[in-house]
């Protein structure tokens, strides 16, 4: 995660998401902090992130992916079709020769195919007859993509400050300037009409400059930071009378500053608070409980800042396309180099709730983006809502391959 949000492990290490879940800090890429593969390596100028698969042995295992295909997939396809029905979607096509109508028709064709009751073998045959298969070039030109995970969190919050709730999320300030065409952050609009860099996270949070623009208050600074990473949240609101009635509020991304993103996990590593191989959300929370002020100071190294607005729960959680994302069926990618809204196939590994690795071969929809997701070698899997999804997202860190299906011209 528009929840333009963040992969948990990837975000804590280096950056964050793009729509309501995903648009947040997931939008500024950095060189990976750990030694090894440079998954954030930018696509060379003039190059395409996708190449046509022409050899049989380079094709993914479509038959296996088509086994048990229905759960969530049709819902995710329908959400993409909602986006394609909006006139604004036409601004993003043609994309590298793919027309808007071709992309939309591809979704309809795939929907018809996966709901036809055909065997996995028949589905494979029809897909290869009707669609061209493209493979991501990955970070290394050989197709290697790092797949991380993100989720939609649930937090306790209050509409007014109190002893327990003292850390605010802010609405979008009127002086935040963004590109009218792309929505990319530009900085702070000054009184004379010029644009300057927006104040840093530290300056915003310590100066009181946004007083009066609070949307809600959270229990601690780490909750605020994690919502910034994810770009949206479901909030359980504390009622003024302190009764047991629970009220729910859904919030999502409303904009971000132009400042650079620095991952909290890498800052903890740099300070010797975590080992290189010890970064996880649980470890970060543990360090925060031990020394909250020191961790807050490290949060300030991430100068980027995210703003929020209330959303209708019916469309929550939504990705950067503005439509609802579906657990294990919605993918976040770099929308500068990949086409929006279409069918993809992800071939990687994912963890179980017990922490063991298992194959993950799934048809998905490209429906989101994110701060760490800014190169052909990065993609982020939406794992769902709440604590269970947090476990899956926090442990997702595996290489794999990414394929796109484009309807053949008539």
Taking only the tens of pLDDT, the chain with its 410 residues reads 433 344 555 555 544 444 444 434 433 223 334 457 899 899 999 999 999 999 999 999 999 999 977 679 999 999 999 999 999 999 999 999 999 999 999 999 999 999 999 999 999 999 999 999 999 999 999 999 999 998 888 999 999 998 899 999 999 999 999 988 777 899 999 999 999 999 999 999 999 999 999 999 999 999 999 999 878 889 999 876 655 567 999 998 889 999 998 889 889 999 999 887 677 778 899 999 999 999 999 999 999 999 999 988 888 888 889 899 999 999 999 999 999 999 999 999 999 988 889 999 999 999 998 766 889 999 999 999 988 998 999 889 999 999 999 999 97
Cβ pair 375, 39 in contact under 8 A: yes
Cβ pair 220, 285 in contact under 8 A: no
Fold match flag (8-151+317-407 vs 153-313): no
- Which pair of tokens denotes residue 324? 């609802």
Dihedral, CA of residue 300, residue 306, residue 312 and residue 317, to nearest 10: -70
Dihedral, CA of residue 160, residue 161, residue 164 and residue 167, to nearest 10: 110
* Strand-pair category, 145-152 with 378-385: parallel
Give the pLDDT of residue 371: 66
Give the pLDDT of residue 395: 86
3-state secondary structure of 313: helix
CATH code assigned to 153-313: 2.40.240.50
- Domain segments of the chain: what residues? 8-151+317-407, 153-313
Q: pTM of the entire structure?
A: 0.79
CA distance 166 to 149: 29
Cβ pair 48, 333 in contact under 8 A: no
3-state secondary structure of 212: coil
Q: Is domain 8-151+317-407 classified as CATH 2.40.40.10?
A: yes
Instruction: Give phi and psi for 230, each to the nearest 5.
Output: -80, -25
Give the pLDDT of residue 11: 55
């Amino acid at each position: 995660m528009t929840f333009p949000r963040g992969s948990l492990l990837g975000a804590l290490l280096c950056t964050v998401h793009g729509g309501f879940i995903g648009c947040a800090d997931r939008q500024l890429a950095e060189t990976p902090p750990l030694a090894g593969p440079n998954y954030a390596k930018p696509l060379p100028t003039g190059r395409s992130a996708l190449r046509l698969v022409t050899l049989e042995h380079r094709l993914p295992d479509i038959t296996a992916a088509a086994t048990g295909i229905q759960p969530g997939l049709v819902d995710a396809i329908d959400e993409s079709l909602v986006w394609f029905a909006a006139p604004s979607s036409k601004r993003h096509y043609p994309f590298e020769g793919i027309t808007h109508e071709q992309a939309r028709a591809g979704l309809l064709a795939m929907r018809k195919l996966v709901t036809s009751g055909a065997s996995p073998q028949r589905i494979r045959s029809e897909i290869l007859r009707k669609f061209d298969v493209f493979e991501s070039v990955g970070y290394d030109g050989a197709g290697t993509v790092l797949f991380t995970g993100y989720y939609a969190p649930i937090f306790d919050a209050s509409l007014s400050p109190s002893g327990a709730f003292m850390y605010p999320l802010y609405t979008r300030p009127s002086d935040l300037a963004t590109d009218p065409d792309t929505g990319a952050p530009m900085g702070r609009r000054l009184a004379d009409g010029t644009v300057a860099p927006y104040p840093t996270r530290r300056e915003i949070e310590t100066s009181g400059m946004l007083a009066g623009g609070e949307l809600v208050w959270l229990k601690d600074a780490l909750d605020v930071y994690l919502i910034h990473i994810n770009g949206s949240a479901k909030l359980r609101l504390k009622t003024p009378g302190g009764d047991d009635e629970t009220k729910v509020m859904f919030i999502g991304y409303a904009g971000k500053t132009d400042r650079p993103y620095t991952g909290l996990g890498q800052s903890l590593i740099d300070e010797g608070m975590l080992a290189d191989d010890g970064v996880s959300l649980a470890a970060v929370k543990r360090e925060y409980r031990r020394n909250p002020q020191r961790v807050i100071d490290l949060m300030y190294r991430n100068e980027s800042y995210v703003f929020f607005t209330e959303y209708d729960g019916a469309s929550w959680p939504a990705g950067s396309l503005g439509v609802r994302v579906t657990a294990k069926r919605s993918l976040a990618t770099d929308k500068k180099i990949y086409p929006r809204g279409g069918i993809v196939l992800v071939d990687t590994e994912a963890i179980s709730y017990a922490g063991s690795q298992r194959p993950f071969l799934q048809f998905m929809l490209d429906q989101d983006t994110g701060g760490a997701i800014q190169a052909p070698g990065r993609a982020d899997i939406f794992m769902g809502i709440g604590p269970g999804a947090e476990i899956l997202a926090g442990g997702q860190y595996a290489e794999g391959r990414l394929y796109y299906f484009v309807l053949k011209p008539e």
